[in-house]
Amino acid sequence: MELVEYSVENAVALIRLNRPPVNALSAQLSHDLLEAFTMAADPAVRAVVVTGQPHFAAGADIKGFQKAYDGANKGGGLAGVLAGTVRALEKLAKPTFAAVHGYALGGGLELAMGADFRYMSDDASVGQPEIKLGIIPGAGGTQRLPRIVGFQKAKELNYSGRHIGAVEALAIGLADKVFPVDHLLPATIAEAEQYAEGPTVALGAARMAMNEGWGKPIDEAMAVEAQAFDDCFWTDDAKEGVAAFIEKRKAEFRGR
């Protein structure tokens, strides 16, 4: 991977975008992220943190759009590639965090929305500015943003293309926590480590049930939940959790 740094410590995978100066999202960066998310599917990895500094990702590489207009590939293909990459992050069966420094715009915000939690630095600036280019988001901005902040607020953000700061993002639920710049990544990793010590199979099942059941008719959604419940009920972690409760001791979950 040329544009992504990948490391694992204390069962937490740290995935760092590395395309200076602003981590503009190219097809290559999207492919590298997809490779990193594939590596993070390893059961030994029990939580994931995605980040980039000094900016998380300041949107797509707009120069690539111009090249697409001159070529045969209508639309350039970048949106489809990025959409698949974000979906891979969303489908990881473990807790995931986006530690957002600086700009997370367009595809950068769409990437962050693929994570369970978005922790932002107090200098963060996020938004879906695609409308100002005469286009719309193509990797989930019209679909995940309404799920997170509500339909009307998502409509306003997508229609206006305006950037919002960390304080407003926290107020509307787009950010889960806000930290000073220097504290953001250590605090995010520390929280990811706490989740990594927990019942990560059950956490993954809850993640899948909520993500895949959302928006379905209630009977279909309940079927998704029932399957997820059954998948984790027979695991070693579930047996350990029940035994620990009965024996009045702290459970020792191992992620299996």
Same domain? For 25 and 141 the reply is yes
Last residue of a domain, one of 177, 196, 215: 196
Q: What is the full DSSP assignment across the chain?
A: --SEEEEEETTEEEEEE--TTTT-B-HHHHHHHHHHHHHHTSTT--EEEEEESS-SB--B-HHHHHHHHTSSSTT-SHHHHHHHHHHHHHT-SS-EEEEE-SEEETHHHHHHHTSSEEEEETT-EEE-GGGGGT---SSSTTTHHHHHH-HHHHHHHHHH---EEHHHHHHTTS-SEEE-HHHHHHHHHHHHHHHHTS-HHHHHHHHHHHHHHTTS-HHHHHHHHHHHHHHHHTSHHHHHHHHHHHHTS-------
Same domain, 173 and 236: no
Q: Are residues 180 and 150 in the same domain?
A: yes
The catalytic residue among 2, 5, 110, 225 is: 110
Are 124 and 228 in the same domain? no
Q: Write down the pLDDT at residue 1.
A: 84
This model's pTM is above 0.95: no
Q: How many domains does the chain have?
A: 2
Q: Residue 204 belongs to a domain with what CATH number?
A: 1.10.12
Q: Are residues 21 and 138 in the same domain?
A: yes
Q: Are both 108 and 22 inside the same structural domain? A: yes
Is 129 contained in some domain?
yes
Q: Is 252 a catalytic residue?
A: no
Query: Is 108 found in the same domain as 30?
Result: yes
184, part of any domain: yes
Do 167 and 95 reside in the same domain of the chain?
yes
- Does a structural domain hold residue 33? yes
Residue 55's pLDDT is 97
pLDDT string in tens for the chain (256-residue length): 899 999 999 999 999 999 999 999 999 999 999 999 999 999 999 999 999 999 999 987 766 665 655 655 554 567 788 999 999 999 999 999 999 999 999 999 999 999 999 999 999 999 999 999 999 999 999 999 999 999 999 999 999 999 999 999 999 999 999 999 999 999 999 999 999 999 988 998 998 899 899 888 999 999 999 999 998 999 999 998 999 999 999 888 988 8
Q: Which residue segment(s) compose the domain that 173 sits in?
A: 4-196
Annotation says 130 is catalytic: yes
- Whichever domain contains 53, its CATH number is 3.90.226.10
- Are residue 52 and residue 142 in the same domain, yes or no? yes
Whether residue 256 is contained in a domain is answered as no
Q: Say whether both 119 and 131 belong to one domain.
A: yes
Question: Is residue 27 domain-shared with residue 120, that is, in the same domain?
Answer: yes
Annotated active-site residue in 130, 212, 247, 252? 130
**What residues does 88 pair with on adjacent strands?**
none
Question: Do 138 and 216 belong together in one domain?
Answer: no
Q: Is residue 9 part of a domain?
A: yes
Bridge pairing between strands 177-179 and 117-121: parallel
